[in-house]
Structure 1
């Protein structure tokens, strides 16, 4: 985790930025490839939906075993925009209710401080916002505050970067701009 203040207040804005991107995807772009090589743009949104359906449970201190497989299957059901809107209708307000968060939360990496989970979610939202923009042919600029925060987190070598297959191998950045460095560290050729 970075040494700066808690990332939780940054998450509603990150959710809003991804929401704007999801709303901008043209109907013919849902099947387009994304920079996440195994995923189309629609698959990427399904991944994001899953993360945000889980978030209210995780923030309340519920273990993954208790949540179980309730979010398995076709989360998009032919309506990627609607699926995203439904997922963040629960996730976004859960992030703003910081006084209700468990101090430690259960993730696929085990029990971690809620602040660490917030860092992971901000990183996920920031990088996947770019993935979504690139795959759907949208403007690829990112929020500089989110980028700086995510880059500081990545440079701290968090546990989520050591998991197999979570991120592609690093590539050479095209510039020393923070966005390009962040994306390159996570295997995105810009």
Structure 2
């Protein structure tokens, strides 16, 4: 990957956050490209990921947290909930030795670098999902697209096996990098 992964994660999460701040009161129930998720559920998912990051990057486990990060994490002020969750997530991902730690995920242990890369990819793809849902500009940062595509080309078989990425969509050979990346994640741009 040609970009520093914590920086990529921060940039992707910042882009997602900028869109969160643009969500109109009438848009929280808009459907998203994520099956069964409206805008509120999508933002809730990212907030949940943000809340997990500091715990897991500090060596914690899902048993340590229990069900504290389940259900509605947005409350009456979804924008504030996102903002409040993003800062510690970025701090944890950019912290000393974050990439070298062993992270205990429910399906097994992974290096911190892999976990932060997964967070980056999730934030990037969901930025497009949110943009599509609220009618915002859907163009993603080309450098982040390139970095995500490079990582996902190796990680894709595992994601397909775990069914954590949507079914790959076919694209013509002359398709741009963003459309190819989104298609690999099961999105139709």
TM-score, normalised with respect to structure 1: 0.91
Cα pair 1:10 1:146 within 8 Å, conserved:
yes
Give the deviation of 1:107 after TM superposition: 1.6
Higher alpha-carbon deviation: 135-144 or 72-81: 72-81
Higher alpha-carbon deviation: 54-63 or 10-19: 10-19
What is residue 186 of structure 1 aligned with on the other side?
A: 185
1:27-63: CA deviation from partner (whole Å, max 9, x where unpaired): 1111000000210011000000000000001111111
RMSD: 1.8
What is residue 8 of structure 1 aligned with on the other side?
A: 6
* Alignment partner of 1:84 out of 82, 93, 98: 82
Give the deviation of 1:98 after TM superposition: 3.1
TM-score, normalised with respect to structure 2: 0.91
What is residue 64 of structure 2 aligned with on the other side?
A: 66
Structure 2: distance between partners of 1:146 and 1:189: 19
What is residue 167 of structure 1 aligned with on the other side?
A: 165
* Alignment partner of 2:19 out of 18, 21, 36: 21
- Structure 1: which 5+ runs fail to align? none
Higher alpha-carbon deviation: 7-16 or 37-46: 7-16
Higher alpha-carbon deviation: 118-127 or 63-72: 63-72
Higher alpha-carbon deviation: 154-163 or 137-146: 154-163
- Structure 1 residues 28-107: aligned runs within 5 Å: 28-99=26-97, 103-107=101-105
Give the deviation of 1:108 after TM superposition: 3.0
- Structure 1 residues 69-148: aligned runs within 5 Å: 69-99=67-97, 103-148=101-146
Please give the secondary structure, in 2, of the residue aligned with 1:120: helix
- Structure 2: which 5+ runs fail to align? none
Higher alpha-carbon deviation: 87-96 or 121-130: 87-96
1:118-169: CA deviation from partner (whole Å, max 9, x where unpaired): 11111101100000000111110101111111111111035334213x2221
Give the deviation of 1:100 after TM superposition: 5.3
Give the deviation of 1:5 after TM superposition: 6.2
